[in-house]
Amino acid sequence: MANTISPQEQLEKTYNAAADHYDHPALSFWDRFGRRTVERLSLAPGMEVLDVCCGMGGSALPAAERVGPSGHVVAVDLAQNLLDKGARLAVKRGLTNIEFRRGDLERLPFADQSFDTVICVFDGVAAASGAKLWWMRMILSGLVIEAHIRFFQSSPSRT
């Protein structure tokens, strides 16, 4: 009898196994693309941000810097080893407005309209799922989609 493993479990195992190498210079594109995505967003102090498939924080950490101490970033990934690395980087940078949580992008425990912005920089898994439609419900209003590096954003004012 074959032992079946779910796609989520396989992804989790793969990314946890690779976590030790994510800060290798050859993989610096994670941080570059993450920071560039955040630079393109109209993030303002006080905003609530969800970063899905966050890895070790390539976009979540710059987002936390942008929204400042009055804002908040929730960074979610399947791979606990990457989340642990991201949390250590946040502490090293003195960021207290970010939390790293383990979670499945298709089953996140957030209510509709919980965030001003949902970021997902590397979304190959998300593109293959129905997750994007669910994420849109969590944003207040004013959807923006960027073609190459994908993100969703509401208008800067919360109602």
Residue 141's pLDDT band, with cuts at 50, 70 and 90, is very low
Residue 142's pLDDT band, with cuts at 50, 70 and 90, is very low
d(CA 142, CA 158): 11
pLDDT over 50 at 149, yes or no? no
d(CA 24, CA 150): 24
The residue-averaged pLDDT of 99-116 equals 86
Tokens standing for 41?
Answer: 């967003």
pLDDT over 80 at 151, yes or no? no
CATH of span 7-153:
3.40.50.150
pLDDT over 90 at 4, yes or no? no
Could you tell me the strand order of the sheet in which 48-52 lies? 98-102, 72-77, 48-52, 117-119, 151-153
